[in-house]
């Protein structure tokens, strides 16, 4: 079998795949014009990797393709309809990264509230020359209210940390109510607007879909408390980034912690990078050695099952199987 590996597949997993298959690994290539990439795509039976935009145009160039295995839980890079029409399986890696991403979201909450990167810089730059005062204080996290938009696997793990670790009050919003979160963490279901109005920390952790694209924009930032801190761990396009910039400039909210951006890698000129009250990360929610290895291994398991004609454990477009 010919397997096209893209962007991020951990080495031990890649080595294993290479034992029995013809595997070529591509990183940082222009997928519209790179000749080696396009030549291999033409023959590929399977694709495994991260963030490869799979649309009709690409599929037209991949006549043998049977399965696309994402090394991520999010699959907004896939045109599912186009894949399903061509009976090509699509898979992702849910669950195994949940705790790691929730840890990162909490890292963003703490870093933004307690201004950790800014104060770290103060110390390392040799500017800690006198006792600090209220100009350097942060805001408490414990006993505050966190609003979680998207009470799925990761949302639930954020709620668990908020409840057991920080005695926080929890509001949540998702398409459906979650009795387990209500029972275990005393989480309260709220409409989106109620959540935005009442939360000290607003955490966005939905998938990017047609419905969630630009879910949070000017109107929503205006509803938030002036002291609120906004955290985005989902995808850059779930918010209107310019509206976030404006809300921060106008003092409509107090700060933001961001792991994701409208454009990734982020434009170095992006105004968000100039703001002390914004903590920025390079989309590293699941990026620990342990979790990335597990994600690659699960993606390979999905891929190989599909190529063997078995149903992959994490098949997204179930209808191709029926």
Catalytic residue numbers?
Answer: 235, 264, 283
Let me know: does 67 contact 299? Beta carbons within 8 Å. no
Can residue 211 be called a binding residue for ligand NDP (CB under 6 A)?
yes
Question: Judged by CB, which is closer to ligand NDP: 66, or 198?
Answer: 198
Can residue 317 be called a binding residue for ligand O=CC(=O)O (CB under 6 A)?
no
Q: Which stretch binds ligand O=CC(=O)O (CB under 6 A): 67-75, 105-113, 212-220, 221-229?
A: 67-75
The dihedral of CA 261, 262, 268, 271: what is its sign? negative
Distance CA 199, CA 176 (A): 19
Quick one: tokens of 213?
A: 């694209």
- Taking CB under 6 A as the criterion, the residue among 152, 189, 246, 271 binding ligand NDP is 152
Can residue 285 be called a binding residue for ligand O=CC(=O)O (CB under 6 A)?
yes
- Return the closest-CA partner of residue 212 out of 246, 253, 240, 248: 240
Question: Judged by CB, which is closer to ligand NDP: 103, or 271?
Answer: 103
Q: Which does 91 bind (CB under 5 to 8 A by kind): ligand O=CC(=O)O, ligand NDP, none?
A: none
- Taking CB under 6 A as the criterion, the residue among 44, 78, 97, 162 binding ligand NDP is 97
- Return the closest-CA partner of residue 86 out of 315, 321, 320: 320
Quick one: tokens of 255?
A: 């700060």
Q: Is 308 exposed, middle or buried (0-12, 13-18, 19+ CB in 10 A)?
A: exposed
For the chain, count helices (H), then strands (E): 12, 12
Residue showing the smallest CB distance to ligand O=CC(=O)O in the complex: 74
Q: Smallest distance from the beta carbon of 121 to ligand O=CC(=O)O, in angstroms? A: 27
Quick one: tokens of 271?
A: 């105004």
Can residue 153 be called a binding residue for ligand NDP (CB under 6 A)?
yes
- Asked if omega into 58 is within 30° of 0 (cis), the reply is no
- Taking CB under 6 A as the criterion, the residue among 107, 285, 306, 312 binding ligand NDP is 285
Can residue 73 be called a binding residue for ligand O=CC(=O)O (CB under 6 A)?
yes
Distance CA 294, CA 239 (A): 29
How many other C-beta atoms can be found within 10 angstroms of the C-beta atom of residue 124?
A: 9
Question: Judged by CB, which is closer to ligand NDP: 176, or 310?
Answer: 176
- Taking CB under 6 A as the criterion, the residue among 25, 41, 45, 72 binding ligand O=CC(=O)O is 72
Quick one: tokens of 7?
A: 């962007």
Quick one: tokens of 65?
A: 């393709």
Positions in 180-209 near ligand NDP (CB under 6 A):
205-209
Question: Judged by CB, which is closer to ligand NDP: 138, or 152?
Answer: 152
- Count residues near ligand O=CC(=O)O (CB under 6 A): 6
Q: Is 306 exposed, middle or buried (0-12, 13-18, 19+ CB in 10 A)?
A: buried
Beta strand 2-6 pairing with 201-204: unpaired
Q: Which does 207 bind (CB under 5 to 8 A by kind): ligand O=CC(=O)O, ligand NDP, none?
A: ligand NDP
Q: Which stretch binds ligand NDP (CB under 6 A): 80-88, 132-140, 172-180, 264-272?
A: 172-180
Beta strand 89-91 pairing with 2-6: unpaired
In the block, which residue shows the tokens 């509206």? 243
Residue showing the smallest CB distance to ligand NDP in the complex: 152
Q: Which residues bind ligand O=CC(=O)O (CB under 6 A)?
A: 72-74, 97, 285-286
Q: Which residues bind ligand NDP (CB under 6 A)?
A: 73-74, 94, 97, 101, 150-155, 173-176, 205-209, 211-212, 233-235, 259-260, 283, 285-286
């Amino acid at each position: 079998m010919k397997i096209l590996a893209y962007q991020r597949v951990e080495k031990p997993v890649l080595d294993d795949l290479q034992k029995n298959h013809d595997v070529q690994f591509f990183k940082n290539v222009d997928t519209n014009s790179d000749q080696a990439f396009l030549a291999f795509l033409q023959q590929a039976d399977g694709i495994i990797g991260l963030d490869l935009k799979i649309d009709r145009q690409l599929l037209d160039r991949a006549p043998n393709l049977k399965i696309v295995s994402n090394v991520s839980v999010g699959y907004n890079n896939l045109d599912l309809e186009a894949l399903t029409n061509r009976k090509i399986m699509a898979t992702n890696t849910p669950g195994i990264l949940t705790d790691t991403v929730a840890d990162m979201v909490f890292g963003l909450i703490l870093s933004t509230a307690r201004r950790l990167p800014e104060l770290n810089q103060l110390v390392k730059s040799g500017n800690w020359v006198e006792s600090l005062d209220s100009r350097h204080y942060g805001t408490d996290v414990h006993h505050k209210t966190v609003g979680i938009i998207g009470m799925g696997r990761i949302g639930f793990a954020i709620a668990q940390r908020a409840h057991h670790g920080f005695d926080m009050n929890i509001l949540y919003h998702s398409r459906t109510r979650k009795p387990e979160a209500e029972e275990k963490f005393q989480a309260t279901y709220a409409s989106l607007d109620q959540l935005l109005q009442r939360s000290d920390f607003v955490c966005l952790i939905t998938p990017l879909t047609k419905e969630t694209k630009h879910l949070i924009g000017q109107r929503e930032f205006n509803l938030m408390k002036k002291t609120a801190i906004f955290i985005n761990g989902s995808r850059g396009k779930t918010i209107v980034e310019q509206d976030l910039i404006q809300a921060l400039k106008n003092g409509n909210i107090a700060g933001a912690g961001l792991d994701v951006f409208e454009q990734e890698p982020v434009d170095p000129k992006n105004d968000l990078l100039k703001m002390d009250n914004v903590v920025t990360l390079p989309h590293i929610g699941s990026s620990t050695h342990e979790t990335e290895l597990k994600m690659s291994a699960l993606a390979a398991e999905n891929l190989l099952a599909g190529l063997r004609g078995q149903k992959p454990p994490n098949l997204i477009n179930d209808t191709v199987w029926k």
